[in-house]
Amino acid sequence: MLRLVPLLLLLACLASPREASAQVRHCVTADGTRLYTDRLCADLGAVDDLRLPTPAAPASNSRRPVCAHTVQDLAYALEEAIRSGDPNRIAGLYDWAGMGTANANRVMNRLQDIARREVVEVRTVHAGDRWEAVDPWLAPPPSGPPVGLRVEQIQANNHTPARASFGLRQRMGCWWVRM
């Protein structure tokens, strides 16, 4: 029996760990309050806020969250997530560590607003950049480390510009966005 214990311990260590996967659900309470949670909406006395997919937001959400190993990888993933129109895909790139429920709800509402707008470009912002530069071709080359991502978008009326800015955080070998 004692010989069996080390063998079982070795097998347990070699077994591949299961991946944890959490889905952020968008729920609506009876009074119209929006909730974002990893729990079932019914557990909170709410219902799923089901939205019909549009051509810009396909029904398939089979892509797994990305571990962006570089800031450029994160910028590409963020642009793709915004183009999908799905705030959950954007949330998969967000660093939620240490965030409380109220703040997380505010962030999810902002991500939902960002997901509704058409993206023009996602640009890396460096420490020495001048944010007010209108033409990126006239701006000086980056002079410092990357500190954020700036998303240039167009409002639903197709002519009013909109901008969203994200900070950057490197954690667990991946780059993440923060607001």
Per-residue pLDDT of the chain (179 residues; tens, 9 = 90+): 555 555 455 455 555 444 444 567 777 777 777 777 788 888 888 877 654 343 444 444 445 556 899 999 999 999 999 999 999 999 999 999 999 999 999 999 999 999 999 999 999 999 877 655 555 556 666 678 999 999 999 988 888 999 999 999 998 899 999 98
Predicted pLDDT at 6: 53
Give the Cα-Cα-Cα angle 133, 124, 89 (nearest 5 degrees). 125
Predicted pLDDT at 105: 94
Q: What is the pTM of this model?
A: 0.61
Predicted pLDDT at 128: 78
Predicted pLDDT at 12: 54
Predicted pLDDT at 31: 72
Which CATH architecture fits 65-128+145-178?
Answer: Roll (3.10)
In Å, what is the CA distance from 56 to each residue of 22, 52, 60, 94, 116?
24, 11, 12, 22, 10
Alpha-carbon gap, residue 14 to 175, rounded angstroms: 28
Domain ranges of the chain: 65-128+145-178
Which residue, chain included where needed, has tokens 């799923």? 48
